[in-house]
Amino acid sequence: MSIENEKTLEVYQNTANMYLENSIKHDNLDLEKARHKREKLEKFLRMNIGSLPKGTKVFEIGAGNGANAKYIENLGYEVTASDNAKAFIEAIKENGLKTIQFNVLKDEFKETYYGIFCWRVFVHFTKEDVLKVLQKTYDALENGGLFIFNAINRETREVDEEWVDFSSEYHMGVERYYKYFSEEELNEIIAKTKYQIHSFHKEGRR
């Protein structure tokens, strides 16, 4: 794993509780915006994860508080929600979900899945990290399975990568690594794997 990702994981290990608290504060600033954002994500999950056979296994990488994993479970899937930070693991357990402590760059998948979901995680991966994750998730999928992930659009940023500690409600007291990807850059990385792109969504500003 990259030194960038390793240092960022250390930050989350030490500040996960603060992150969870700040996420609630962030949503409370504009409840209507938070509701709309949640509805869009749930529609996206229904369209994509929801296309998989009901009752099959789905794995989430970096589940945070487990809200997305819980929604996927309610769609009719057997979900394993993972994260690296202990406080996130505890939050996932409070949602009544099956969970394991898991670092996708270091740990090996013990089972195969029809779906693997990874939301707001690629932003902390270098290009080399992304290729490794794509290769590992491909090997952990059943035939016809889906790997669903998102990344922050490079077109909305002034730099390719940076170390950031937000000054707003997401202030953590220490910088984290952020990497921004263009569609072309992601396509180049995916082309080095056995994946076939099912669909590509772009939204937000440009």
Here the CATH number for the domain that contains residue 167 is 3.40.50.150
In a domain, 197, yes or no: no
Residue matched to tokens 């220490």:
174
Mean pLDDT value of segment 119-127? 96
Please tell me the predicted confidence (pLDDT) of residue 204.
67
Asked if the structure places residue 37 within a domain, the reply is yes
Burial of residue 103 (CB within 10 Å: 0-12, 13-18, 19+) is middle
Is 203 contained in some domain? Answer: no
Alpha carbon of 76 to those of 37, 43, 58: distances in Å? Answer: 22, 15, 10
HSE toward the beta carbon, residue 123, CA cutoff 13 A: 15
Q: Give the per-residue pLDDT at 182.
A: 93
Residue 149, H or E segment: strand 141-149
The percentage of the chain sitting over the pLDDT mark of 90, rounded to a whole number, equals: 83
On whether residue 204 sits in a domain, the answer given is: no
Tell me: the pLDDT tens digits for 66-114?
999 999 999 999 999 999 999 999 999 999 999 999 999 999 999 999 9
In a domain, 48, yes or no: yes
Give long-range contacts, CB 8 A cutoff, 24+ apart: 192-196. Answer: 192/131, 192/134, 193/131, 193/134, 193/135, 193/138, 194/138, 195/134, 195/138, 195/147
Q: Are strands 113-118 and 98-101 parallel, antiparallel or unpaired?
A: unpaired
**10 belongs to a structural domain:** yes
Token output for 97: 């979900």
The pTM (predicted TM-score) of the whole model is: 0.94
Q: Supply the range of the domain harboring residue 94.
A: 3-190
Any domain includes 198: no
Q: Does 18 map to a domain?
A: yes
Domain count, the chain: 1
